[in-house]
Each structure stands twice: as C-alpha cells, then as structure tokens.
C-alpha cells in the first residue's frame, strides 16, 4: 500500500506541475480539438438556424469513443461553459499536450488521474486554462467569486451507463511553492473513513469561502484541477460530491 501511495503522489505532482497557463500568440496555438463532427441532434430541427441547431445538438459519447477509446465521459456545466470529453491514460503526461486524435495540441484534453478511474472515491480531473481564451477549464477561475458559485453550484458527468450530478462543496487556491499546502486532494481513495473525514475537514478549512455543504465518508467526490491564470504557481481546485444518478 505504501508503494501504491508513493506512485500516486508522483503521478499527481507531475499532473499538477504540467498545468501551466496557456498563452495564445498572434500565430495561434492549437487548441485541444474542434468537436463539431461529434455532435448529434437530440430532436428534429424546424428552423435551420445556428442558434436552433446548437440548442438541439449534443456531444455523442459513442462517436467520441470511436475516435479514441480513452474517452471515459463528458463533463457538462450550466450553459455549457464547460462541455468537454474526458479521457484517461496509463500516465498523467500523455494528454497534457495531445488532443482526442492523440496529436500535439498545446491545450491538451482534460484527463482523469491515472491512479484512479471514473468509479473511484475521488475522481480527479486535470485540465488546462488560458489567460487569453475561454478554453477547457478556464471557467473554473470564476469560482474564486462566491457569488458565481451560488449561481452555479452543480455540474454533470455523463458516462456510457449513467449521468451523474455533482454539487460543489469547496473551492481552494493551492500554492505549489508552499510546502505546507497539502496535495491530498489528488488522492483517488482513502484507506479509512477517518482519513477521508480528516481530508474533508482540512479542505473546507482551506476553502476560499464556506459553501455550507456537508459531506460524509459515504460520498463519492469529483475534484477538478486547473492553473490559476493570475499566478502560474497556483492551482484552482474545485471539489464536488455526487448527489444524483440517472440512466
């Protein structure tokens, strides 16, 4: 178990360090991917207008998986401010600078930590953000503001078998230069309920504000991690608990 934890810690540190703020030059850096070919209509379209089409189309998980079997789900926030396929590879380096077709892309694609999976006690997802473009996980920066959280407290994760709803219970701003800042949020599992509860208590104490959401050792978590574009040594960490599941 000790060797397993050491390996997990190394994977986590590697992933966190790789999440730097993306800069887009005038020559244009390649984004993760244009998913236009992976949308399907959810109901017949009466008027062929772009707005109408957008509201009646959604990403197809099956089409995405035909291109890349590493796709494990789709992350969906309100108004699709985040609407991204999520992958998982055997290591945390692979998708840092690769897109769905496994070609080079500066912004990469969001990925689940290699030491866990979509059914872990804590599903940890890493993704890039940008100072100049609203890519990937850039919208997570908005959760620094408590008022934004109050208006957007939930999100969904779509898998092959179900759609999970998560409610955010904590938002942290981690300083990688501060050795006292714990990286325990990168763990996918805890050995005991006491260890898990201690983690929850510590995370809430370190939160930017109090959400008043309670969490128990029976909860399944999802943690989203991206760079703080105001300071490249910091990371935004959004912790959420699963509150609903539907087929």
Count of structural domains within the chain: 1
Within-domain flag for 84: yes
Q: What range does the domain containing 177 cover?
A: 2-36+69-246
Which pLDDT value is given to residue 23?
47
CATH number of the domain to which 181 belongs: 2.40.260.10
For residue 183, the model assigns a pLDDT of 94
SS3 49: coil
Give a yes or no: residue 160 inside a domain. yes
Averaged pLDDT, groups of 10, the chain, 247 residues long: 47 71 45 86 61 72 98 97 97 95 94 97 96 90 97 98 98 93 95 97 97 95 96 95 97
Residue 47 within any structural domain of the chain: no
> Do the domain assignments include residue 106?
yes
For residue 179, count CB atoms less than 10 angstroms from its CB and return exposed for 0-12, middle for 13-18, buried for 19 or more.
exposed
Residue 159's closest CA among 32, 57, 246? 246
Whether residue 55 lies inside any domain: the answer is: no
| CA neighbor of 33 nearest in space, from 70, 85, 81 | 85
pLDDT at 46: 53
Cα–Cα distance measured from residue 24 to residue 66, given in angstroms and rounded to the nearest whole number? 30
- Catalytic residue positions, numbered: 128, 227
- pLDDT at position 134 is 85
Residue 64 covered by a domain: no
pLDDT at 16 (0 to 100): 81
**Residue 193 domain-assigned?**
yes
198 inside domain: yes
CB 111 within 8 A of CB 16: no
């Amino acid at each position: 178990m000790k060797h397993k934890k050491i390996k997990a810690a190394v994977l986590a540190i590697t992933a966190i360090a790789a999440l730097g703020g993306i800069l887009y030059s005038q020559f244009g850096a390649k984004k993760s991917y244009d998913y236009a070919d992976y949308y399907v209509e959810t109901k017949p379209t009466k008027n062929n207008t772009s707005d109408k089409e957008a509201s009646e189309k959604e990403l197809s998980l099956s089409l995405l998986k035909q291109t890349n079997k590493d796709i494990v789900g789709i992350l969906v926030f309100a108004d699709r401010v985040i609407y991204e396929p999520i992958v998982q590879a055997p290591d945390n380096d692979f998708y840092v600078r690769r897109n769905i077709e496994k070609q080079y892309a500066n912004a990469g694609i969001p990925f689940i930590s290699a030491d866990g999976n979509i059914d872990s006690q804590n599903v940890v997802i890493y993704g890039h953000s940008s100072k100049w473009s609203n890519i990937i996980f850039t919208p997570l920066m908005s959760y620094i503001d408590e008022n934004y959280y109050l208006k957007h407290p939930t999100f969904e994760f779509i898998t092959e078998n179900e759609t999970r709803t998560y409610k955010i219970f904590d938002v942290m701003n981690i300083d990688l230069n501060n050795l006292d800042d714990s990286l325990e949020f990168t763990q996918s599992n805890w050995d005991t309920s006491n260890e898990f509860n201690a983690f929850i208590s510590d995370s809430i104490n370190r939160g930017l504000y109090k959400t008043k959401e309670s969490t128990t050792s029976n909860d399944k978590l999802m943690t989203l991690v991206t760079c703080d574009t105001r300071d490249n040594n910091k990371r935004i960490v959004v912790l959420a608990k699963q509150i609903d599941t539907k087929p």
